[in-house]
């Protein structure tokens, strides 16, 4: 089951479509199918994540969370989503209408494009080429443009302050994300997600292969990733107590919904990247010497491994969020520039030394 | 050199305290949740002991209460929600004694401050844990706490005079 290559399905589909229509039409149809699949997945994961967030948050605060709508409150999120879909999108006077309406789409497009980079299974990857990680980093920073535009075009000082904070924070933390990724690229020697996963399936997860520097990189990645998603303790771009809702104060209806969606999906993407780069992506857990155990692990499909690992990392990020109080903007910037950047630089050198002397597994 | 030392110490100390926080919240994650699923668990719901629902006057199995109609609770109540109606009776040995007729308690203007139960020297009144006190008519909130036909617990006849605090303690026992 583990060796199931998703390419079989895609190639079969391609052969089927080219049989009845010209090549270009077949590729167009496939693109539309893939887009539909990814948008559906996007919505489903958003719903699952919002439900999980509410339940996990409640558990950390010694509560039960939503319990009334449906068994264990499972229908609550559907109710919220339909409410959001039916609400009016209010246009405000004296806002820059074009940019105001464009900004949520920029955010959600950036988020969906990075979502497409995730390796779901062997051969089940939508965007995959030799500089995958580079592409991922580039596209994920597109979202900050949307946030800045939202703050600027809203004609509201709170929105603008929120957007500026968000911009400062995301641009700063991108540095340590890039640095930790560079550390892991040192180890893998490739930037393509499919090759990184295949390598980890063959030789073991990167976090075990790279041991000490990989664990440090993982921790730094989690902190910086949390900041990239604008989530607590780094959620001051939208802190309720000072800035009402930050950059999306002036948005209503589904335009606000896009920010909401993108926030949760960015959490998923951040966790998915962590599981791809550090925890092996769709590669099962292999312990050398325990053949029976390895056999059992190999029976679990790769997609289940990937989603399972991602949700594990999501849980770690939620644990962080619901434990620590919000930081001030100067504390956020000093954490990044005075602690995380030097640490990740030292870590990069450490990783380089480990590889140069062949100390990795 | 000192500055570098502070930097490293601050970093390690910060990591340590963050781990303490994470440990605390993880412990909270696994503790029993305090949320009550109220209308569903109505039959087995137990309010906590110190919850102040409404004022009651406990009676024993002989339909006897401990109230001597002294009126201290009425005087202690800042809202005037207690009205003690009493009468003077003559006991067999010719002494005059105050006796409780009606103990009226208005739940509607009670603010659950517990000054009345603190003022009571005999422990005759206490708050119970009942909280479903909603009614459609305000008049129903005025309650008579002593049960019909009840009387005060008679003190046991003792030979030698006891100190003042003793009878109360005895009555409690």
Does a structural domain hold residue A120? Answer: yes
Does a structural domain hold residue B18? Answer: no
SS3 content of chain A, % helix, strand, coil (to 5): 75, 0, 25
Contact A169, A150 (CB under 8 A): no
Contact B33 A63 (CB under 8 A): yes
Does a structural domain hold residue A293? Answer: yes
Start-to-end Cα distance in chain A: 26
Does a structural domain hold residue A41? Answer: no
Chain A residue with the nearest C-alpha to that of B26: A60
pLDDT attached to residue A360: 74
Separation between Cα atoms, residue B170 and residue B159, nearest integer Å:
15
Shortest Cα distance from B66 to chain A (angstroms)? 42
Interface of B with A in 9-38 (CB under 8 A): 11, 18, 21-22, 24-26, 28-29, 31, 33-35, 37
The pLDDT of residue A267 is above 50: yes
Does a structural domain hold residue A13? Answer: no
Does a structural domain hold residue B94? Answer: yes
Domain, as residue range, for A260: 87-356
pLDDT attached to residue A12: 80
- Name chain B contacts of A58, Cβ cutoff 8 Å: 33
For chain A, the maximum distance between any two Cα atoms, rounded to a whole number of angstroms, is: 68
Does a structural domain hold residue A333? Answer: yes
Chain B residue with the nearest C-alpha to that of A56: B29
Does a structural domain hold residue B109? Answer: yes
Highest mean pLDDT among A14-23, A158-167, A185-194, B75-84: B75-84
Separation between Cα atoms, residue A30 and residue A10, nearest integer Å:
9
Best mutation target, B35, B38, B39, B41, to test chain A (most A CBs within 10 A): B35
Chain A residue with the nearest C-alpha to that of B40: A68
Domain, as residue range, for B59: 55-152
pLDDT attached to residue B136: 92
pLDDT attached to residue B78: 92
* Tokens found for residue A300: 């679990």
Contact B112, B125 (CB under 8 A): no
Q: What total number of domains does chain B contain? A: 1
Chain A residues contacting B, CB < 8 Å?
58-64, 67, 319-320, 322-324, 338-339
Contact A122, A6 (CB under 8 A): yes
pLDDT attached to residue B158: 57
Best mutation target, B6, B12, B25, B30, to test chain A (most A CBs within 10 A): B25
B85-101 pLDDT per residue, tens: 988 888 778 788 888 88
pLDDT attached to residue B160: 56
Peptide bond between residue A287 and the one before it cis (omega within 30 degrees of 0): no
Q: What total number of domains does chain A contain? A: 1
Other CB atoms within a 10 A radius of the CB of residue B168 amount to 16
Chain A residue with the nearest C-alpha to that of B18: A324
A154-210 pLDDT per residue, tens: 888 888 888 888 888 888 888 889 899 888 888 888 888 888 888 888 887 888 887
B38-60 pLDDT per residue, tens: 888 888 888 888 888 888 898 88
A46-76 pLDDT per residue, tens: 888 889 988 898 888 888 888 888 888 888 8
pLDDT attached to residue A4: 66
Does a structural domain hold residue A61? Answer: no
Separation between Cα atoms, residue A286 and residue A298, nearest integer Å:
8
Helix (H) or strand (E) holding A51: helix A23-60
* Tokens found for residue A202: 């063959």
Contacts of A25 (CB under 8 A, 6+ apart): A17
Does a structural domain hold residue A321? Answer: yes
Contact B29 A64 (CB under 8 A): no
Does a structural domain hold residue B71? Answer: yes
CATH of the domain at B100: 3.30.70.3270
pTM: 0.79
Among candidates A58, A67, A323 on the partner chain, residue whose Cβ is nearest the Cβ of B22: A323
ipTM, two decimals: 0.73
């Amino acid at each position: 089951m583990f060796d199931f290559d998703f390419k079989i399905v895609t190639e079969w589909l391609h052969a089927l479509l080219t049989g009845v229509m010209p090549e270009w039409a077949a590729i167009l149809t496939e693109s539309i199918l893939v887009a539909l699949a990814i948008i559906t997945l996007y919505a489903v994961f958003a719903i699952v994540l919002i439900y999980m967030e509410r339940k996990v948050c409640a558990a950390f605060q010694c509560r039960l969370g939503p319990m009334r709508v449906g068994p264990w409150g499972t229908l609550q999120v559907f109710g919220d989503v339909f409410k959001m879909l039916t609400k009016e999108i209010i246009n405000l006077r004296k806002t820059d209408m074009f940019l105001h309406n464009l900004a949520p789409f920029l955010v959600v497009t950036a988020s969906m494009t990075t979502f497409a980079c995730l390796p779901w299974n062997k051969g089940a990857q939508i965007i995959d080429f030799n500089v995958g990680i580079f592409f991922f980093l580039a596209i994920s920073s597109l979202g900050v443009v949307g946030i800045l535009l939202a703050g600027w075009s809203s004609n509201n000082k709170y929105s603008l302050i929120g957007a500026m904070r968000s911009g400062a924070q995301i641009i700063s933390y991108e540095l340590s994300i890039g640095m930790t990724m560079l550390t892991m690229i040192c180890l893998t020697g490739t930037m393509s997600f499919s090759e990184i996963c295949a390598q980890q399936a063959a030789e073991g997860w990167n976090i075990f292969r790279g041991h000490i520097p990989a664990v440090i990189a993982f921790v730094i990645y989690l902190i910086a990733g949390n900041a990239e998603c604008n989530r607590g303790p780094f959620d001051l771009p939208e802190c309720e107590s000072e800035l009402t809702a930050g950059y999306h104060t002036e948005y209503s209806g589904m335009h606000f919904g896009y920010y909401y969606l993108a926030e949760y999906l960015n959490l998923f993407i951040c966790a998915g990247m962590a599981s791809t780069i550090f925890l092996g992506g769709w590669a099962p857990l292999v312990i050398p010497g325990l053949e029976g155990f390895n056999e059992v692990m190999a029976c679990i499909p790769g997609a289940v491994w990937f989603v399972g690992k991602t949700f594990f990392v999501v849980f770690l990020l939620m644990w962080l969020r619901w434990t620590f109080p919000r930081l001030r903007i100067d504390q956020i910037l000093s954490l990044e520039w005075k602690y995380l950047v030097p640490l990740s630089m030292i870590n990069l050198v450490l990783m380089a030394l480990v590889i140069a002397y062949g100390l990795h597994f | 050199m000192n500055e570098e030392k502070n930097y490293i110490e601050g970093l390690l100390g910060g990591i340590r305290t963050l781990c303490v926080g994470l440990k605390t919240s993880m412990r909270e994650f696994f503790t029993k949740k305090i949320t009550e699923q109220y209308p569903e668990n109505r039959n087995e719901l137990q309010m906590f002991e110190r919850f102040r629902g409404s004022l009651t006057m406990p009676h024993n199995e002989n339909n006897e209460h401990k109230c001597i109609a002294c009126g201290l609770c009425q005087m202690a109540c800042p809202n005037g929600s207690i009205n003690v109606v009493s009468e003077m009776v003559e006991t067999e040995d010719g002494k005059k004694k105050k006796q409780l007729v009606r103990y009226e308690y208005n739940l509607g203007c009670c603010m659950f401050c517990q000054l009345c139960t603190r003022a009571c020297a005999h422990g005759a009144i206490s708050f119970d844990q009942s909280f479903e006190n909603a009614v459609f008519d305000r008049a129903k909130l005025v309650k008579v706490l002593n049960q019909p036909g009840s009387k005060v617990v008679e003190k046991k006849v003792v030979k030698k005079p006891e100190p003042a605090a003793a009878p109360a303690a005895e009555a409690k026992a």
